[in-house]
Amino acid sequence: MKKICFFSNSMFKIGGEQRITSIIANELVKNNYDVTIIIKCNEQIDYSLYDLSKKIRLIFLNMNYDFRLNNIKLFEYLRILNREYGILKYNKFIIRHFFCSNKILRKLKEIFKNNKFDVVIGVAGDRSFILSYLKKYIKGKLIFWNHMNFDAHFKNKKSRYYNEESFIKPLFKNFDSIINLNKDDVIKFKKYYNINSIAINNCKSFISNEKSSLNNNKFISCGRLVEQKGFEYLIEIMKLFVMNNKEYILDIYGDGPLRDKLINKIKEYGLSNYVNIYPTNKNIEKLYPNYDLYLNTSIYEGFGLVTLEALECGLPVIGFDIPANRTIIDNNKTGKLIKRYDIKEYARILLKLVKEKNILMQYQNNIESSIKKFNKETVIKEWINIIEK
């Protein structure tokens, strides 16, 4: 029985990484693998949240902070300065401290010395780069499971790893496999770093027998209330939409730092009767069938899991034309792709679709065949091929 280890920031909070890691880990257990998940942040265990198998061993690093890369404020401030001005871009020693504290490294070294894992998987960039730095303590295969868009991670100013490539680039050689979530990122890893990687889609997180009637007069959108998700653009779109159609409402489900700003913008535009913001709902799959369209305004994504979930419930999707959406949405078959930031065209298409319900019905009829490639059975076979390679 091969021993598989995932290293994740968290497992019991609402999020795409947590949901899909749970699914893959559960499927590996069903296929007779011994699975362990190392979890960096303190959190309350809730197996029911994602139906995580109790056969999976959990190891907490027991850090006394939540969702921070380093518990030393100095390095957080230095990282912000480096992103903006590049003052430390060639200082690998300092940049290493942006990713994790010495305390984390000591804990991980101890775990890997005491556990001979056959395969170790870093869930997203931060965890993967920490693992690569500790490669000599890991006896088995090391996999980088990239969950974010390449440009957003490495090439956009002020993005997560901007001006940190002097530390990161040498780490790529330590990975036995690099898994991206879409083919666009595979191409860019090769173009910019001359690194071979593969694309494995995330799979559907559930199967829904209940589909939208397309007669609810409601739109839905979900996600963290952060700039990446583009909810400010969505409110601008609804402002244009409501000028011409006052029969529909938009419900946004999510939490995050932009909540107050978004609520104020809704009030400023007089949209309080048309746009609502609700907290994150852990049973969101039960709500999708109550809506007619899923509206996606993310400006970048690694993979839009909520978009796939909405399609599974029979909702056509409108989204900005970004690689993650091109992976999931079949343009003019299951939804529409709109040039990024073009809110006027987005609003025009939205108005058109609600008037011409026959198009929405055609899109809905195409969904089942379009998303077969995201079936759990298909995706887990690809994972097992990598593990057994």
pLDDT, tens only, 46-66: 999 999 999 999 999 875 544
pTM: 0.89
- CA-CA distance, 245 to 235, in Å (whole number)? 14
Q: Do domains 3-67+101-203+375-388 and 218-370 have the same CATH topology?
A: yes
pLDDT of residue 66: 45
- CA-CA distance, 2 to 35, in Å (whole number)? 8
Q: How confident is the model at residue 370 (pLDDT cuts 50, 70, 90)?
A: very high
Q: How confident is the model at residue 67 (pLDDT cuts 50, 70, 90)?
A: very low
Of 156 and 353, the one with more pLDDT: 353
**The dihedral sign for the CA sequence 335, 336, 340, 346:** negative
- When pLDDT is averaged across residues 99-103 and rounded to a whole number, the result is 84
pLDDT of residue 70: 52
CATH topology of domain 218-370: Rossmann fold (3.40.50)
pLDDT of residue 327: 93
Q: CB-hemisphere CA count at 13 Å for 377?
A: 2
Residue that is written with structure tokens 């956009």 in the block = 156
pLDDT tens by residue, 200-247: 999 998 999 999 999 999 999 999 999 999 999 999 999 999 999 999
Residues paired with 293 in a beta bridge: 219
Phi, psi at residue 38, to the nearest 5°? -90, 130
pLDDT of residue 133: 93
pLDDT of residue 149: 84
CATH superfamily, region 3-67+101-203+375-388: Glycogen Phosphorylase B; (3.40.50.2000)
Beta sheet of 293-296, edge-to-edge order: 275-278, 249-253, 218-222, 293-296, 317-320, 335-338
- Where are the domains positioned within the chain? 3-67+101-203+375-388, 218-370
pLDDT of residue 71: 53
- When pLDDT is averaged across residues 328-334 and rounded to a whole number, the result is 97
- When pLDDT is averaged across residues 162-170 and rounded to a whole number, the result is 90
pLDDT higher than threshold 70 for residue 69: no
pLDDT of residue 63: 55
Average pLDDT of the chain to the nearest whole number? 92
Q: How confident is the model at residue 42 (pLDDT cuts 50, 70, 90)?
A: confident
- When pLDDT is averaged across residues 247-255 and rounded to a whole number, the result is 97
Cβ atoms of residues 143 and 176 within 8 Å: yes
pLDDT higher than threshold 60 for residue 290: yes
Residue that is written with structure tokens 């609700």 in the block = 278
